Amino acid sequence: MRSTFWLFLIVELDMSKFSEAMRIYESLRVDRVCGVLTRALPSMQKRRAESKLYNAWREASINAQVWAMETRRSPKEST
């Protein structure tokens, strides 16, 4: 009986409002992330200013993330 219930949910999935749901999700996510960053950023900046070792580690970490995710600045942004 339980597998029939899940099959019913999958078959009846309505994607007509998916884009609206994603828009709402993004608006909630952005607010939440901004709140977290607002609290975390000052302490991170303080650590970077006070510690050359932390600053070097953080720069290496950022460079590794950029390399791993293949994110690059566009030519327009780098000027």
Question: CA angle, corner 29, sides to 31 and 73, nearest 5?
Answer: 90
Per-residue confidence (pLDDT) for residue 60, from 0 to 100: 92
**How far is it, in rounded angstroms, from Cα 25 to Cα 20?**
9
What is the reported pTM? 0.36
- Per residue in 37-64, pLDDT tens? 788 888 878 887 888 898 889 889 988 9
Per-residue confidence (pLDDT) for residue 1, from 0 to 100: 45
Helix axes 18-50, 52-69, angle to 10 degrees: 150
From the list 68, 69, 47, the residue with the least C-alpha distance to 58 is: 47
CA R_g for the chain: 21
